[in-house]
Structure 1
Amino acid sequence: MIRRIEPRDVDAAVGLVYELALYEKAPEQCHLTSEQLHTALFGERPALFGHVAEVDGQVVGIALWFLNFSTWDGVHGVYLEDLYVTPDQRGNGLGKKLLQALAQECVEQNYTRLQWWVLNWNEPSIGFYKSLGAIPMDEWTTMRVTGAALSALASAD
């Protein structure tokens, strides 16, 4: 079953985010807490949304996403931050169903795009995404400012 995330799912979702960080070979970079995720999803001004895949009452997959905006199209889109299905449930169509739920969100809201990142080494996921019609945007370079560089930029004259 694919459904919108509910407050009762937060702890399970945090656990899956940590599993994803381990899969992506960066567990030391994951610091998410249940309180943080709960506030982001269900706080006064939610900026994060989510869907879960549930099998036999257990959350076994997540899609966490937020809205972006295309100035060229003049409308919002969906940016998928995390998509993860537990290894024992892969191959059962849950990843595709989670992406279908986000595509439906886009169509229903007249959003013009659904996008996400995938690590270059993650060939199984890249193949899966391409099979759904996703196109690599490899002419773009992702840029990021964090930590000390972020602080320095914020305080620059």
Structure 2
Amino acid sequence: MKTKAIFILFLFFVTNLSFSNTIFSVQLAKAEAFKKEQKFTKAINCYLKAIRSVQNDDAMVKEVYFDIADCFYKSGKENMAVKVLKFSIYRFGAVKQDLLDTNKLDDQLVHSLFEVIGDKYDSYRNKYVSKFDKKEKLLAEVASEIKTS
């Protein structure tokens, strides 16, 4: 009985994951189409729906935030584009090389970002890294508690 319950939970998880990835792909395709048509607001809305469908996958989400920033930039909202990119650094771990290597961002936008954040880049990165430090501290505390029990 226990094995059957675990199997059912596993199937539910796999089905849910597959469904999320399908929503992600569909919304991403819609967003790309809107972006090509220069309908940036509609594209951003689709990108946000895609993010909501896979919000626990930082790598996928980070790339989508690059697309959102690009849409803001192309619609003349450079400040918002920079804000989105800053968020991608401290929330999703985007590193300088990600920003420089991606073909999703205009070089001028990346340059503007680095001008705006300047020396704050390291603090944004540290904010991202610190969330892992907190997890490690908790895991160490839990492991210690288990040993003493």
Q: Is TM > 0.5 for Structure 1 vs Structure 2?
A: no
- Greater RCO between the two (CA within 8 Å, min separation 6)? 1
Larger radius of gyration: 2
As a proportion of its length, which structure holds more helix?
Answer: 2
If the length of structure 2 is used for normalisation, what is the TM-score? 0.31
If the length of structure 1 is used for normalisation, what is the TM-score? 0.30
